[in-house]
Every structure is written in structure tokens, then in C-alpha cells.
């Protein structure tokens, strides 16, 4: 059977009060629509379509994947009208799954159930029993429990509004029937729109068998209409991720204060303290400890390393038993070998630090190749930029850089060299020797401090 997935994403999203089209608002760092696309894709449909409209160009250019067809609905005239726009692109398809760009938590398992049922039934609806059904279309059933229609809340009678079984909007329909049913829908309703849901009554009248299924979790069907709902779904989504991580052996100090906006691969016995944000692709080896208020982005951290509070690590590879922070900033293309120590107010960019090297306080290391066992004193700066070009600093194994040293790149400090505190180093410092570049200290004999007039 050839299945197509059609994602409706043309709605206005007025209640977001935003310049950004609703389906581009991020959930866990990715557009709402990206979540739905990913779930739809996981079902391996023969065709994947997105009906877009409002904010069209922005929506299209946010996605570069080539595996989906974009169908424009220039005017938003209802969900039925939206699916009608997709029909010409559905030739050769046997059945059609309808999804929503603003309902991001739908699970593949739930959709698989719908598709399973659709092997025998021409129409399958995903419905849910809600304690508060307001805002949703209600499912109408006859005396023997067969579905006979869906009524939108605005068009419902008092009695119909009391029904708690709601239409989630998700459905699977046999393609040829869908086309026939849609050709019969009209727009004589409270909103003057072509409702997709009207096909349910048309199918029932035709005598078509209609099945219903339930989602595994009720929040799978919640749509985002405003930023309050977006925040609610964000917490649900984060909760899901947090539980999965805890079950895989990660300790989260507080799962309600943890945000993963990307993918985290964590080995067992990782500890993550409160208010840590993880973005992009992050790998944490076993025994890693992340202190509170840290941001980790696109990085890999080796076994038993520790990141202390308020540190930012972005685009770096960190070895084993490394200690970073508190208040450290590790920037892209940095590599720290095993047992490196980086302390407070240290910024490192595009630098490699060899095994056991230390930069414990108030330092900037950029475009630097630093050997093993190097000690970088407080206040050391690699002056890597001359206003036009970046230059390299090389510090070889076992060197000792005194506090408040400026290393004017390009420059080399040889193995085992010692640089006296306060030096401005502009030429190569030879190995194993003491090099300093500072004014001589003088004590002025006979000098008297001026006294204020009596
Ligand atoms: C729809 C259902 C309702 C269901 C509810 C579940 C209809 C008529 N009603 O109502 O039974 O309980 O969803 O959330 O289908 N869209 C388009 N083009 C349009 C109009 C909408 O692409 O012309 C898209 C929207 O972007 C959105 C989705 O379709 O993703 C649903 O549209 P919306 O207007 O939110 O429908 P509801 O009134 O919520
Ligand atoms: Mg809606």
C-alpha cells in the first residue's frame, strides 16, 4: 500500500501575535513543523507533503530537505480546502494520513495504529476523551456507537457540546474515497470554511465503515495556538526527554529544570545539576558532572570530567578527568586533552591544550597550540589578532607562563621555558630558559612623598 502523509501548515496562527509563522516557532530548539516532519518521515511514507500558505517563503526556506513536496494554499479557506490543494499531488497513492504542523507531540506509535486500522477501513479517525473538550470538534455517534459525523464547537448544539469525545484532526483515509468525499463538502458553517471534518458525515451517509483510535498519551494531540500552549508543550516535551535520560542512567538534579534542545548521548552515571541547557549534538561520557547554570553546545566531554557552574562550552572536544570552570567559556574548535584544568574567567578559542596543562584564572587563549604540562599564569593573553589577521601562538611542553603575560602572536615559547610575570613576549622564547620582557624595577633614593599644605 502506498501511503502519503499530508501535513497541514497553512494556518495563520494569529494568536501567536508574531511575525514568525506559527509552525516556525521553536519547540526544544527546532521549528514545530520540523518535529511533525520527523515523525511523519519515521513512518516511511511513499510521499510526504506540506500544505503551506501563511508566511510561505519563510516556511519553505526554513526547510532544505528534498524529500517533501510543498503545496501552496494561497488563501486559508479551511482544513478541507487545504487537503483539496494536495489532491493533485496524490496520484497513485492508496491512502492518506493527515497531520498538523502545529501539533508537534504526536507519536509515531499512535500513527502506526491508525495506519494499521486503515488497512481494512476507508476512514480512521484519531479521537480522544477530554475532561475539558472545549475548542475541539465533537465526535457524533449513533445509538449503536458508529461514528456519524464531527461537529465543530461553533456549530454545535448545547447537547453536542456536552460530548467529551473530540476530534483530534488526525485521520487516515483511502485516497479515492477522500477525493470523492471532499468534492461534496461545502462551507455553510459558522466560519464559512471548508471543513475537513465534514467528510466524516458524508462518508457515514455513504455507508463507509469508520474506525476510531486513541492516542497513547493525551498531550500528543494538543495543538499550539498561542505562546502559553507553546510553553506548556515545551515542558511536556522536556519532561519526556528528561525521563528517557534518567531511565538510561543519567541523574538530573531536577528534571523540571533541564532543557535539551538537540541530541544528548550520555553514558551512565552522568550527573547534571539544575538549569543546564544542552544544544545541538552533545556527548557526555560516564561519570561526567555538569554543575548548575551551564550551557553545553555541540561538544563531547570525556569520562569523569567536571564542568563547574556557569560555564559555557561550545564546539569543543574535552578529554577525560578535565576540570572546567566555574565561569569558564570554551569556544569552537577547542580541544582539551586529559586532566587539563581551566578555571574561572578563562576564555579559550580554537586552541589545543595538551595533557595536564592548566590555565586557572583570568586568561584568553585563542589560536594556540599548547603542549603537555604547561602552566598558564593568571591574566595571560594570547594577542592573536593584529586588526587584520589571526596569528598562532605555540607553547611547548612543560612551559611556565608567568602571570599577566601578553604573548604577541605569531610567537613560540619553547619546551620547559619560563616567562617572567608581566612580560610582553614578541619573539621566540628559548626552551628551558627564563625569559622576561619588563621594565627594570628601580627604587628612587631620597624621594619624599609630597605632603598636603598645612
Ligand atoms: C480542527 C478541526 C477540529 C479539531 C481540531 C483539533 C476542522 C474543521 N476542525 O479545528 O475538529 O477538533 O482541529 O485541533 O478541521 N489549516 C490549513 N489551512 C486552512 C486552515 C487550517 O493549513 O485553511 C491548518 C492549520 O495551520 C492547523 C490545522 O490546519 O495546523 C487546523 O486548523 P485550525 O484552524 O486550527 O482548526 P481548528 O479550528 O483547531
Ligand atoms: Mg487548531
CA dist., res. 182 & res. 180, Å (int): 6
Q: Which three cell numbers stand for residue 295?
A: 550551557
In a domain, 451, yes or no: no
Tell me: do 177 and 263 sit in the same domain.
Answer: no
Ligand 1 pocket member 197 (CB < 6 A): yes
Q: What percent of the chain has pLDDT over 90?
A: 96
Tell me: do 262 and 311 sit in the same domain.
Answer: yes
Distance 65 CA to ligand 2 centre (A): 26
pLDDT (tens digit per residue) in 136-157: 999 999 999 999 999 999 999 9
For residue 236, give every residue at least 6 positions away whose Cβ sits within 8 Å of its Cβ, in sequence order, or none: 105, 219, 222
Ligand 1 pocket member 78 (CB < 6 A): yes
Tell me: do 28 and 71 sit in the same domain.
Answer: yes
Tell me: do 257 and 181 sit in the same domain.
Answer: no
- Which H or E run contains 393? strand 393-395
pLDDT (tens digit per residue) in 10-49: 987 899 999 999 999 999 999 999 999 999 999 999 999 9
pLDDT (tens digit per residue) in 380-412: 999 999 999 999 999 999 999 999 999 999 999
* 149, 152, 153, 158 alpha-carbon torsion, rounded to 10°: -40
Question: What's the domain range around 60?
Answer: 3-221
Helices (H), 64-197: 79-86, 108-117, 158-161, 175-182
Apex CA 346: angle with CA 343 and CA 348, to 5°?
A: 120
Cis status, amide bond into 326, omega within 30 of 0 = yes
pLDDT (tens digit per residue) in 270-317: 999 999 999 999 999 999 999 999 999 999 999 999 999 999 999 999
Q: What is the pLDDT of residue 54?
A: 74
Which of the listed residues 204, 221, 238 is the one where a domain comes to its end? 221
Residue 260, Cα to own-chain centre: how many angstroms?
Answer: 7
Mean pLDDT of 248-261: 98
Of all ligands present, the nearest one to the C-alpha of 197 is 1
Tell me: do 215 and 253 sit in the same domain.
Answer: no
pLDDT (tens digit per residue) in 235-244: 999 999 999 9
Tell me: do 272 and 400 sit in the same domain.
Answer: yes
Tell me: do 204 and 253 sit in the same domain.
Answer: no
Q: How many helices (H) and strands (E) does the chain have?
A: 8, 34
Bridge partners (DSSP) of residue 363 are 346
CA dist., res. 406 & res. 138, Å (int): 72
Tell me: do 198 and 304 sit in the same domain.
Answer: no
The DSSP secondary structure of 413-451, one letter per residue, reads E-TT-EE-TT-EE-SPBPTTSEE---PPP---TT-----
In a domain, 237, yes or no: no
**Closest ligand 1 atom to the C-alpha of 195?**
8
Whichever domain contains 377, its CATH number is 2.160.10.10
- Which H or E run contains 203? helix 198-206
Best mutation site among 49, 79, 98, 167 for ligand 1 pocket (most ligand atoms within 8 Å of CB): 79
Tell me: do 179 and 282 sit in the same domain.
Answer: no
Q: Which three cell numbers stand for residue 20?
A: 514568525
Tell me: do 75 and 121 sit in the same domain.
Answer: yes
- What is the greatest pairwise CA distance in the chain? 114
In a domain, 226, yes or no: no
pLDDT (tens digit per residue) in 180-216: 999 999 999 999 999 999 999 999 999 999 999 999 9
Q: What is the pLDDT of residue 37?
A: 97
What mean pLDDT is reported for the chain? 97
Look-up of cell digits 458553517: 189
In a domain, 86, yes or no: yes
CA dist., res. 284 & res. 289, Å (int): 9
Whichever domain contains 10, its CATH number is 3.90.550.10
Tell me: do 113 and 254 sit in the same domain.
Answer: no
In a domain, 233, yes or no: no
Of all ligands present, the nearest one to the C-alpha of 167 is 1
Active-site residue list:
361
Q: What is the pLDDT of residue 11?
A: 85
In a domain, 238, yes or no: no
pLDDT (tens digit per residue) in 53-69: 977 788 999 998 878 99
Q: What percent of the chain has pLDDT over 70?
A: 100
Tell me: do 267 and 215 sit in the same domain.
Answer: no
In a domain, 449, yes or no: no
Domain count, the chain: 2
Ligand 1 pocket member 352 (CB < 6 A): no
- The count of residues in the chain is 454
In a domain, 286, yes or no: yes
Question: Between the CA of residue 209 and those of 51, 93, 122, 123, 265, what are the distances in Å?
Answer: 27, 20, 7, 7, 45
pLDDT (tens digit per residue) in 158-172: 999 999 999 999 999
Amino acid at each position: 500500500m502506498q501511503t502519503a502523509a499530508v501535513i497541514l501548515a497553512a494556518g495563520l496562527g494569529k494568536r501567536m501575535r508574531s511575525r514568525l509563522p506559527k509552525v516556525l516557532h521553536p519547540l526544544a530548539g527546532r521549528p514545530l513543523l520540523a518535529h511533525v516532519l520527523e515523525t511523519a518521515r519515521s513512518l516511511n511514507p511513499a510521499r510526504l507533503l506540506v500544505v503551506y500558505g501563511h508566511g510561505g517563503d519563510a516556511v519553505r526556506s526554513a526547510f532544505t530537505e528534498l524529500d517533501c513536496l510543498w503545496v501552496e494554499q494561497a488563501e486559508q479557506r479551511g482544513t478541507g480546502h487545504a487537503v483539496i490543494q494536495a489532491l493533485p499531488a496524490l496520484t497513485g497513492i492508496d491512502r492518506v494520513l493527515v497531520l498538523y504542523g502545529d501539533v508537534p507531540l504526536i507519536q509515531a506509535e499512535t500513527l502506526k495504529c491508525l495506519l494499521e486500522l486503515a488497512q481494512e477501513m476507508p476512514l480512521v479517525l484519531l479521537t480522544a476523551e477530554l475532561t475539558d473538550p472545549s475548542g475541539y470538534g465533537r465526535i457524533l455517534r449513533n445509538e449503536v456507537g458508529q461514528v456519524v459525523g464531527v461537529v465543530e464547537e461553533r456549530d454545535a448544539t448545547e447537547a453536542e457540546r456536552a460530548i467529551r469525545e473530540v476530534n483530534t484532526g488526525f485521520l487516515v483515509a483511502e485516497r479515492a474515497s477522500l477525493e470523492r468525499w471532499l468534492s461534496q463538502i461545502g462551507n455553510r458553517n459558522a466560519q464559512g470554511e471548508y471543513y475537513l471534518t465534514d467528510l466524516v458525515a458524508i462518508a457515514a451517509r455513504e455507508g463507509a465503515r469508520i474506525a476510531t483510535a486513541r492516542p497513547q498519551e493525551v498531550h500528543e494531540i494538543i495543538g499550539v495556538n498561542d505562546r502559553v500552549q507553546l510553553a506548556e508543550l515545551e515542558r511536556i516535551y522536556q519532561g519526556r526527554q528528561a525521563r528517557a535520560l534518567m531511565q538510561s542512567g543519567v541523574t538530573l538534579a531536577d528534571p523540571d529544570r533541564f532543557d535539551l534542545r538537540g541530541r544528548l548521548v550520555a553514558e551512565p552515571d552522568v550527573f547534571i545539576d539544575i538549569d543546564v541547557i544542552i544544544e545541538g549534538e552533545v556527548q557526555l561520557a560516564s561519570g561526567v558532572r555538569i554543575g548548575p547554570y551551564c550551557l553545553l553546545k555541540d561538544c563531547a566531554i570525556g569520562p569523569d570530567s567536571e564542568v563547574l557552574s556557569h560555564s559555557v562550552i561550545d564546539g569543543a572536544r574535552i578529554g577525560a578527568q578535565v576540570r572546567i570552570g566555574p565561569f569558564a567559556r570554551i569556544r569552537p574548535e577547542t580541544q582539551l586533552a586529559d586532566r587539563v584544568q581551566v578555571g574561572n574567567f578563562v576564555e579559550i578559542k580554537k586552541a589545543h591544550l595538551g595533557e595536564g596543562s592548566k590555565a586557572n584564572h583570568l586568561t584568553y587563549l585563542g589560536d594556540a597550540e599548547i603542549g603537555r604540562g604547561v602552566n598558564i599564569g593568571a591574566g595571560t593573553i594570547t594577542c592573536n589578532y593584529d586588526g587584520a589577521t589571526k596569528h598562532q601562538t605555540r607553547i611547548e611542553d612543560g612551559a611556565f607562563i608567568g602571570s599577566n603575560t601578553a604573548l604577541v602572536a605569531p610567537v613560540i615559547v619553547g619546551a620547559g621555558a619560563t616567562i617572567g610575570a608581566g612580560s610582553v613576549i614578541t619573539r621566540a622564547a628559548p626552551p628551558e630558559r627564563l625569559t622576561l620582557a619588563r621594565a627594570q624595577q628601580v627604587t628612587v633614593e631620597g624621594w619624599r612623598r609630597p605632603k598636603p599644605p598645612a
